[in-house]
Chains A and B, each alone.
Chain A
Amino acid sequence: MTALDGTIGTSPNRVGGIDRVTGAQRYLADMSVTDALHAKLVTVPVARARVARIDGSAALALPGVRLVLTADDLPQPVPRFGPQNLDRPVLATGETKYHGDPVALVVADTREQAEAGVAAVHVDYKALPAVCTVAAALATGAPLVQDRSLRAKDPRRNTNVLNEHVVAWGDVEAAAAEPGLTIVERRYTFPMVTHFAIEPHAFMAAPDGDGVSVWSTIQHPNWLQKTIAGLTRLPLSKVRVYAPDPGGGFGGKQHAKYEPAVVFAALRLGRPVRLVLTLEETFQAVRRAACEARVRTGFTADGRIAFHDIEADYLIGAYTDIADRVVGKGSYPAAGPYNVPAVRIVARAILSHTVPSTAFRGFGNPQINWAVESTIDEGARVLGIDPVDVRLRNLARKGDRFIPFDTPCDGEWDQAVRKAAELIGWDTPCPPGRGRGIALGIKSGPTTGLSYSIVRLLADGSVVVYAGTSDMGQGARTVFAQIASHELGAPLDWITVVMGDTAIVPYDQQTSASRSTVLMGNAILAACRDIQAKLRSIAATQLGAADTDVTVAEGVVRLADGREFPIREVLAAGLGRLGGEITGLGEMRKEAEAGHPLSGAPAFFEFNCTAIEAEVDADTGDVTIDRHVTVSDVGKALNPLQVRMQDEGAAIMGLGHTLMEHYILDDEGRIRNLGAIDYRIPTSMDLPRELRSEAVENADGPGPYGSKGMSEGALLCVAPAVAAAVRDATGVAIRDLPLTPERVWRALQVGAAPGDAEGRR
């Protein structure tokens, strides 16, 4: 296959890849505009503080410093924003809520002058008691993270519980009272971790005529446009968001962070202002919610799951961001891909004086899946039934309404389980000193969506595709170009995909939930088919045929009499002497459903099965992943290499929170391991010795050509599969992540608790 063949199901070279290997690709920090000023954030070094006064006079006296913007300089009351609740102030007002909560923005001619200005700003503050754990946030008399006035109508306003999400069916207590059940009850914890996109967040804003232009590393340009329009009271048409391809997002770039402050500074100064975060500042801007979960599960003697009783406390940050949705949507399928007759899931979003948690690949599912799958593994061991068998006995089959009132099981999930088991050699003896573990996971795809696309077939047969998706590495540009190439016949390099400019590209709700291949892909497909329909009329007229005798597909016009013409031959004739183009419009809409707890059933499920073979160094506690098998149901791999890269990337990212990543907070709630030296993510030295990713393809998804969304599934199961393998190898169960050498070594010194070693292979 050649690099330019866009055939669906092949892997042409990445569209935009050449600029990425030559250094020509311009990320936001590589861009500037004339006269741009540089901004830096002012913060206080505690988790929570009462800010009495901010004195910027010394800073303003320094060369080049133009502005010290504080909450007092903003419209009053200080505007607040957020995708769920309008609870985040543009700059902290009165009280800072977490270590890194900015109180001011210093703007200067150069970055160094802005840094000098930050050092010269005097913030008069008093540290206040902070709550940074679930226990502290829920303690009697705990300080309230959010002012009650922000939650006036919320019956929980006198607590730090922001919300509680309950999903239930069947009768758990009656099920638990049945005789003969084996009931396993355990607690699990999942740490705070951060996205660590290699590109730190960056923002720029500039007055633009009677409006404002905003540049951001944002995943959701249209959502940012709406946010800025709301804060500035400008019409949407006067807010132009440029969103160059992000250098990695993983959910951490979905929603506005400091863009509003930069916009207010730029409008006040009448000049462009740019703010590029340091990596340390990104740690203080985005993270995944920590979670403490209790799972009580009953098994029948033959390994059927009789009930699940699940409680999960997600420790979110000081402002909601999208965290409450993460808790609600992430916990909703917590009972797993199984047919379970009685289920109760209670998940709480708990506010704390910590960095606001946000979307992060897996969106709340990895935390709870860690607990539930580990519990199933434990049940299998206690019962003496093979962990794969237990799962297959309970696994939903296609069409099963395994979650009542939700999307039925939409894949041949057992195929993925069997494939993973086969690839790891589940039924073969494990090499001495090693252990094996397996886990399953599902994640709900998008529950609502709206994507428009415009496709233009130009006079020479080349194509321009407009798509509001952000290509942050997942390869959306390439897949979109493949769809257009497949439908309209142009080679890939005759196709341009335009993204990232709200003044030009039509609306797209967001780039999240692994939606873009399905939702935007369908919009592009519809736009291409719109063009095909117009070509059909043109061809019928040109050739004197009836419309019904003409078909247009895969770049070719076919007549009932057997004649075939490439699309662009028909195009050239049809457009005539004036030339011009044919424009297609596509829309993909997934409406909300009244009464559904998630406001809609998912468009698809991501299903994954991960199998691990691992060994543990008893002297150091170091875990080595010998073999890592990950199998996802993707419907149809439009670009198999990109599918593999997304699955492997998710798998390795999962190894991060499983083995090494976690925030370390001191007693005052300060993050002690800010930055790349003290916070480790997987490197080339931390990979599985053998990594194998496979896809199950039955073309049974709702996306183009039977595709489903994918790219998060392979992260869901890593922790429970690795911990099960560690337990299999050592006989010791560990229920807190990450499985650092220290934690594993300490656990080995204590040794197996009663029952831990049961069911060892």
Chain B
Amino acid sequence: MPQTTLPIELTVNGTLRGIDVAPHHTLLEVLRDDLQLTGSKECCLVGECGACTILVNGRSVDSCLVLAVEADGADVLTVEGLASPDGRLAPIQAAFLDQGGVQCGFCTPGQLMSAHALLAGHPHPTRAEIEEGMAGNLCRCACYEQIFAAIDQAASGAAPAVTGASVRAEAGDAWAGAKTSAEGLDQ
């Protein structure tokens, strides 16, 4: 069947992208299939599970429910855009690691995006605000308490115990730098 496409422009994670999209394709399909940004996940495709949550112009949306053409001109933030370009994790990402907010990890990108949006609107959310703000993101591993603790940590501005790749590199360097001296043995 002949398929027409429409040109749209999206600013995705800070980069302006021009894409020709099928008019019936969702934003999720375009992110995953056309832009190879597979961090946003497919599960229910009816806006119930939240695995595809992203931010569009600062608002959290289920990207499975938004047509890509509707987002023409929009600013889109996905999980791939949370860390800084040098790989330093955002506080909410580090907090998820610290608090154990991640198990299988499949819902995690959506949880992170909802948490990010929640904190943008409520820098110091109450428990009730967290429950409400995260209600659209299912976690079947059910580490909800750890996710809430991560949001608390990020909100408190407490220094994370780990900041991901950067700390990993530093610690690795420390062990790598230690002399593997064989003196006294090499005899």
Contacts and interface: CB of A to CB of B under 8 A. Distances in A.
Contact of B100 (A19, A641, A652): A641
A684 B140 contact: no
Contacts of A472: 104
A18 B103 contact: no
B120 interface: no
A655 B94 CA distance: 29
Interface stretch (A25-33, A149-157, A230-238): A25-33
Q: Counting chain B CB atoms within 10 Å of each CB, which of A27, A276, A473, A675 scores highest?
A: A473
Interface residues of A, number: 76
B127 to A, nearest CB: 9
A278 B45 contact: yes
A360 to B, nearest CB: 12
Contacts of A62: 1
B49 A27 contact: no
A17 B97 contact: yes
Given A473-B104, A641-B100, A573 B182 contact: yes
Interface string B128-148: 001110111111111111111
Nearest to B160: A3
A50 to B, nearest CB: 32
B100 A642 contact: yes
Contacts of B1: 62-63, 116
Contacts of A543: 185
B126 interface: no
Given A23-B79, A30-B38, A572 B180 contact: yes
Q: Counting chain B CB atoms within 10 Å of each CB, which of A21, A30, A248, A645 scores highest?
A: A21
Nearest to B39: A23
Contacts of B89: 18, 21-22
Contacts of A76: none
Contacts of A45: none
Contacts of A27: 41, 106
Contacts of B60: none
Contact of B142 (A30, A195, A648): A648
Tell me the dominant secondary structure on chain B's binding face.
Answer: loop
Interface stretch (A206-214, A330-338, A563-571): A563-571
B100 A569 contact: no
Nearest to A31: B38
A20 interface: yes
A676 B138 contact: yes
Contact of A684 (B82, B130, B176): B130
A648 B143 contact: yes
A676 B180 contact: no
A664 interface: no
Interface of B: 1, 32, 37-46, 48-49, 51, 78-80, 82-83, 89, 93-94, 96-98, 100, 102-109, 112, 130-132, 134-148, 161-162, 164-165, 167-168, 171-172, 175-176, 180-182, 185-187
14 contacts: A17-B96, A17-B97, A18-B89, A18-B168, A21-B108, A25-B105, A198-B51, A278-B45, A473-B104, A473-B141, A641-B146, A648-B145, A652-B144, A653-B140
